[in-house]
Amino acid sequence: MKKECIAMLLAGGQGSRLYVLTENMAKPAVAFGGKFRIIDFPLSNCSNAGIDTVGVLTQYRPLELNAYIGSGQPWDLDRNDGGVHILPPYQSATGASWYKGTANAIYQNIGFVDMYDPDYVVVLSGDHIYKMDYADMVERHKAAGTACTISVMEVPWSDASRFGIMSVDENDTITEFAEKPKEPKSNLASMGIYVFTWSKMREYLIADENDPNSDNDFGKNVIPAMLGSGEKMVAYRFAGYWKDVGTLDSLWDANMDMLATGSGLDLLERDWPIYGRSTSAPPAFLGKGSHVEHSVITRGCTVEGKAENSVLSENSVVEEGADVEYSILMPGAVVKKGAKVNYAIIGENAVIGENAVVGAAPDGSEGWGISVVGPETAIPTGFTLAAKHMIDSGMKEVAR
Amino acid sequence: MNGLHGIIFSYEKEPGLRELVERRMPGSIPFGGRYRVVDFMLSNMQNAGITDVGVVLHGNYQSLLDHVGNGKTWDMSRKYGGLRILPPFADSHRHHSEEYRGKMEALAGVRSYLEEIRQDYVVLADSDLIINIPLAEVYRSHVLSGADITCVCRQDYQSTENATFFELGADNRILKTLCSPKKPTGYHCLEIYILSKELLLRLVDECAAEEKYSLRRDVLNGMSGSLNLRGYVWNGRAAQIRTVQEYFDKSMGLLEPAVYRDLCAAGRPIRAKEDDEAPTYIAPESSCVNSLVADGCIIEGTVENSILFPGVTVKKGAVVKNSILFKHTVVEEDARISFVIADKYVLVRKGETLAGNASYPMAISKNSVV
């Protein structure tokens, strides 16, 4: 059945800069904000924008992600016509190959896209936290009659050299693209969200595949090639909350942004809901001696101790006398009696033993940073994990 | 296990529940912060591996329909079988414009559905019983005992009106069935029954032919001579809710961690329709203790000994004590409420004070502005 527009969601990345958190799962499956996973954001955006056909390109450790997406029902994407499709690399008559890059991942699924014969394809990443109406971007793409529309946002000039930077003319037509430029000519950063006219995109994907020197990456190869050939490309300005949560610090920051009024990240707003696969846990229970302030808390949590400035995910537990501050407890994490957790990310189902100490408040020193406990890790009673240290489920220190 | 079929009854009006049943049947009363009462029985059935369930309805059942939907929540949206909603059928010989007088009459009202049941055994249960019981075990014990009907009962004497009590003999054989006795004695019947489909159909026809409608009076009592009736004694928790007071007391009981664990967080999960709310935010300088809090709430004031359903807002300076606030209730700045049950979308205005009493909680109807 023909669709005007479908989405391709790149969810295959390992997310190596999340270290222990992605040991057993792909980055888009990492928990976020108490009851979500990162991939809930692009999937919910698609659902809210009326895009009912989404291909999810998976590669690295897809078990968790596949199980989570399932039939797509939580996002209303279980459809007879369209819906969500998981697209792993596959074997064909000419051999088998992994996805070599973002562009190659879609190249290998040209057959899937052709099945829906779309006019436009939206390309999304599985590691961004934001609410965005892709339908509006597609409208803009149509109206401008371009080959490609790239969503951009203004970043501080001092940060511009960390991004793919677009130079535009007065109509926001892109004149130049520079990947992480030393001396940026603009502060419009690419958000890695693209709308392509499928016929054009198809052409360039095939050309890119035939170029042995290409890294088969959208940002590095396909976009510059299109620009170089004189295709009309337009920037779509986005002004809302957006964060790439590819690093431990940015993941921690984005979680904390849920608490900061004025950060722009308001998940309690009901006009653009973020959906997630639910667990059957009962409501959160805050005990007689509990003290919870400036925190988010969700179903299945039990708090008997103290939690401040923290994100408590599904089924996490803070026992009596335990103290959690400026931290993220991922689903099922348990902080035992008398333990202290400060400026830390505690992975799924990790247990912080009695009177253990994880992380420390910033002391202005060079070596300070967020402490991280990997999923399923059992920190023994009385153990101390210093600031910026990271430990995996085998109780092995991991350097970063 | 595919041998057991579920039938859930939701037709009895319970006037004792006052405001809480103004717009709904007892089975769809919100309970425990995120559930509807009927979620317990549907989940019990799901946890016992039951895939086919018929819900016998009469009365104001729109709210119940909205809640159970197609049964997806309990994995009962199936190609074959699954959840079936059974309002009175037009083919039944009586025109059911009035409430069913008893279970046998309700079953006769859906006679053609009963015939199509694919399983050999049927479990009958009420939609307004709060319990987390392993029905698979009750079923096993029914089959092993060779009883005609197994009735789940419990040694409690809560003051439920219109209750049924059993006197049990050796091997838990039911010797006597007492209908609404003045002084409760023996075992309180929890209205969960297991019997074979074949017997069920025979009893429905026999009762219909003689204009009999009551399961307890006409079957348990009236046919006790010819049927092998056994009690299954349940020692766990259970609550039938028939009055606002009972509702309040049983809800508040959940604040005891052991009760909450046994009912809601046992190895057998209770599933409820997804509310798609973001996590709850608890603001600086607020306080929230000894309370159950669902998702989507914003707490800026003080909350104590209370149960908050999804999307409740407690503004700065507001004090909520010993209260139950249904979905999307808003308590504005400096309002104070205690011993209140606020139905959905209630707005308590700035500075207002509302107080019920532990022995007479105040129930506020849906959409009220106070």
Is B205's pLDDT higher than 90?
yes
Do B103 and B200 lie in a common domain? yes
Cβ <8 Å between B289 and A289 = yes
Do B163 and B253 lie in a common domain? yes
Tell me whether A286 touches chain B (CB under 8 Å): yes
Residues of chain A neighbouring B286 (CB-CB closer than 8 A): 293
The answer to the question of residue B201 being in a domain is: yes
- Tell me, what amino acid is at B50? I
- Asked which of B231, B263, B295 is the last residue of a domain, the reply is B263
pLDDT of residue B138: 97
Q: Is B226 exposed, middle or buried (0-12, 13-18, 19+ CB in 10 A)?
A: exposed
Cβ <8 Å between A35 and B265 = no
Do B154 and B299 lie in a common domain? no
Q: What is the DSSP string of B24-37?
A: S-GGG-EETTTEEH
pLDDT of residue B18: 87
State the Cα–Cα distance between residues A122 and B258, nearest whole angstrom: 50
Do B34 and B170 lie in a common domain? yes
Cβ <8 Å between B293 and A287 = no
The answer to the question of residue B132 being in a domain is: yes
Tokens of B176: 């006597």
Do B179 and B138 lie in a common domain? yes
Do B13 and B80 lie in a common domain? yes
Tell me whether A25 touches chain B (CB under 8 Å): no
The answer to the question of residue B321 being in a domain is: yes
User: In sequence order, which ranges of A237-278 are alpha helices (DSSP H)?
Assistant: 248-257
**Which has the closest alpha carbon to B280: B262, B269, B291, B295?**
B295
* Mean pLDDT along residues B55-66: 88
pLDDT of residue B91: 53
Do B39 and B106 lie in a common domain? yes
**Which has the closest alpha carbon to B344: B365, B313, B370, B361?**
B365
A65's enclosing H/E stretch is helix A63-69
Instruction: Report the DSSP beta bridge partners of residue A271.
Output: none
Cβ <8 Å between A299 and B295 = yes
- Its ipTM equals 0.92
pLDDT of residue B95: 54
In terms of pLDDT, which residue wins out, A43 or B14?
A: A43
**Which has the closest alpha carbon to B289: A303, A283, A294?**
A303
Cβ burial B310-338 (10 Å sphere, 16+ → b, else e): bbbbbbebbbbbbbbbbbbbbbbebbbbb
Q: Which of residues 167-206 of B touch A (CB under 8 A)?
A: none
Q: End-to-end distance of chain A based on CA atoms, in angstroms?
A: 48
- Asked which of B263, B291, B308 is the last residue of a domain, the reply is B263
Q: End-to-end distance of chain B based on CA atoms, in angstroms?
A: 51
The answer to the question of residue B253 being in a domain is: yes
Q: A293 CA to chain B: closest CA distance, Å?
A: 5
Q: At B329, give phi and psi (nearest 5°).
A: -70, 145
Q: Between B37-47 and B135-145, two packed helices, what is the crossing angle to 10 degrees? A: 60
State the Cα–Cα distance between residues A303 and A176, nearest whole angstrom: 53
Q: How confident is the model at residue B331 (pLDDT cuts 50, 70, 90)?
A: very high
Nearest chain A residue to B275 by CA: give it: A278
Q: A285 CA to chain B: closest CA distance, Å?
A: 5
pLDDT of residue B188: 94
User: In sequence order, which ranges of B180-327 are alpha helices (DSSP H)?
Assistant: 197-209, 244-253, 257-264
Tokens of A152: 């951009």
User: In sequence order, which ranges of chain B are alpha helices (DSSP H)?
Assistant: 37-47, 62-68, 103-109, 111-115, 135-145, 197-209, 244-253, 257-264
Cβ <8 Å between B288 and A295 = no
> How many structural domains compose chain B?
2
Q: Is A377 exposed, middle or buried (0-12, 13-18, 19+ CB in 10 A)?
A: buried
The answer to the question of residue B275 being in a domain is: no
Tell me whether A72 touches chain B (CB under 8 Å): no
The answer to the question of residue B370 being in a domain is: no
pLDDT of residue B97: 64
Cβ <8 Å between B279 and A298 = yes
The answer to the question of residue B37 being in a domain is: yes
Tell me whether B273 touches chain A (CB under 8 Å): no
pLDDT of residue B1: 47
pLDDT of residue B2: 58
Lowest model confidence (mean pLDDT) among A34-48, B148-162, B267-281, B303-317: B148-162
State the Cα–Cα distance between residues B227 and B74, nearest whole angstrom: 34
Do B20 and B64 lie in a common domain? yes
Q: Residues B109-132: pLDDT tens digits?
A: 899 999 999 999 999 999 999 999
Tally of helices (H runs) and strands (E runs) in chain A: 8, 33
Nearest chain B residue to A260 by CA: give it: B283
Nearest chain B residue to A314 by CA: give it: B279
Do B221 and B307 lie in a common domain? no
Q: B305 CA to chain A: closest CA distance, Å?
A: 8
CATH code assigned at B285: 2.160.10.10
Instruction: Report the DSSP beta bridge partners of residue A296.
Output: A311, B281
Tell me whether A289 touches chain B (CB under 8 Å): yes
Cβ burial A364-373 (10 Å sphere, 16+ → b, else e): eeeebbbbbb
**Which has the closest alpha carbon to A18: A358, A241, A254?**
A254
Do B199 and B329 lie in a common domain? no
The answer to the question of residue B55 being in a domain is: yes
pLDDT of residue B215: 94
Using 50 as the pLDDT threshold, list the residues of chain A that sit under it: none
Residues of chain A neighbouring B308 (CB-CB closer than 8 A): 283
Is B98's pLDDT higher than 80?
no
Cβ <8 Å between A34 and B279 = yes
Residues of chain B neighbouring A259 (CB-CB closer than 8 A): 281
Q: What is the mean pLDDT of chain B?
A: 92
Tell me whether B258 touches chain A (CB under 8 Å): no
Q: Residues A337-381: pLDDT tens digits?
A: 999 999 999 999 999 999 999 999 999 998 899 999 999 999 999
pLDDT of residue B54: 96
| DSSP 8-state code for residue A16 | G
B174's enclosing H/E stretch is strand B174-179
Residues of chain A neighbouring B307 (CB-CB closer than 8 A): 283
Q: pTM (2 decimals)?
A: 0.93
Q: At B289, give phi and psi (nearest 5°).
A: -130, 160
* Mean pLDDT along residues B69-94: 84
Name the residue range of residue B167's domain. Answer: 4-263
CATH code assigned at B223: 3.90.550.10
Lowest model confidence (mean pLDDT) among A301-310, B5-14, B261-270: B261-270
**Which has the closest alpha carbon to B31: B235, B283, B261, B253?**
B253
Do B95 and B173 lie in a common domain? yes
- Asked which of B215, B236, B263 is the last residue of a domain, the reply is B263
Do B159 and B305 lie in a common domain? no
